[in-house]
Amino acid sequence: MSKIETIVVQGYPIDVEGDYISLTNMVKSKGDDGIPSEVIKNWLNTHNTIDFLAAWESINSNIFKVVGFHHVKENLGNKVLSVKSWVEATDAVGIYAKSGRTGGGTFAHKDIAFEFGAYISPVFKLYLIKEFQRLKEMESRAGDIEWNTRRLLSKAQYVVQTDAVKQYKIPALKIPQNLEFLAYAEEGDILNLAMWGFTAKQWREANVDLAAKGHNVREYASINELMVLSTLEGINASLIKDGISFSSRLVKLKEIAKDQLATLERSKPEYMLRKDELGEFTPFVRNDDKSMFPVRNKLIKKAS
């Protein structure tokens, strides 16, 4: 789950979790005595609202239960609808409620939160959009700086690996000069296989348009992946010097990649976002996903 950030809209703090904005905080910004949960329920229990939510889910989620939606709509007015019951009935991912002394309350995807903002006040909605965009622009700039730094470090470590190939692997295997490029390509692929489970060629075949523009898989890696990749390159260089076989090195590098990535995912989950074809950071795709990113993923389901 993303780190909680805070924006200030017309003097009121609003929590933001990734692309999700706190509706509870938005209600508090009204400055009246309204109970946030009741105000949200009043907004939720209208045909216009659930029609909008259903339309959003249909576009953005492939697990939305249309049958559940129709059941909710038929019973609207006979039974008070809560965020929790909406999620349980429809498997909705656009809005969720969570408990907690800090960071608790009801959160909704920005598209839905902006719609709710109009319910609070049209002026408030406009300021909300402005401050949310400002936050995302700041995050994007920070992410780009960090990503570019890690990319440079990975490139530097790659030089260490290629030097090991030149000094140790090529002489040891007595590879002819006209075939030396294959040795370097093989060592590039051992890292791709260890990190992602596919070769550079397989990535190019899965992303023809991007490959034609000279792009490669590393340009779409997450910051955490680039950190691990840099480590793998140094370790692989040492293993090459020790004369360890390709197959044995691949097994070891896979184990290291898996362990280090899992550790970083726990400690730096915000660095699991990877760039997509538009240069924007998108949800992490795990190694067993065959889509071979960069693809725009469906929204990750939020816990209710």
Write out pLDDT tens, residues 67-92.
999 999 998 888 889 999 999 999 99
Residue 293 confidence class, pLDDT cut points 50, 70, 90: low
Residues 6 or more apart whose Cβ sits within 8 Å of residue 150: 223, 226, 227, 230
Residue 199 confidence class, pLDDT cut points 50, 70, 90: confident
- What is the rounded average pLDDT for all residues in the chain? 81
Distances from the Cα of 298 to the Cα of 60, 99, 164, 261, angstroms:
6, 25, 41, 22
> What is the greatest pairwise CA distance in the chain?
81
Contact 57, 71 (CB under 8 A): no
Tell whether pTM > 0.75: no
C-alpha–C-alpha distance, residues 233 and 229, integer Å? 6
C-alpha–C-alpha distance, residues 137 and 221, integer Å? 20
Distances from the Cα of 129 to the Cα of 10, 117, 132, 134, 161, angstroms:
12, 9, 5, 9, 47
Burial of 219 (0-12, 13-18, 19+ CB in 10 A): middle
163-179 per-position pLDDT tens digit: 888 888 888 888 888 88
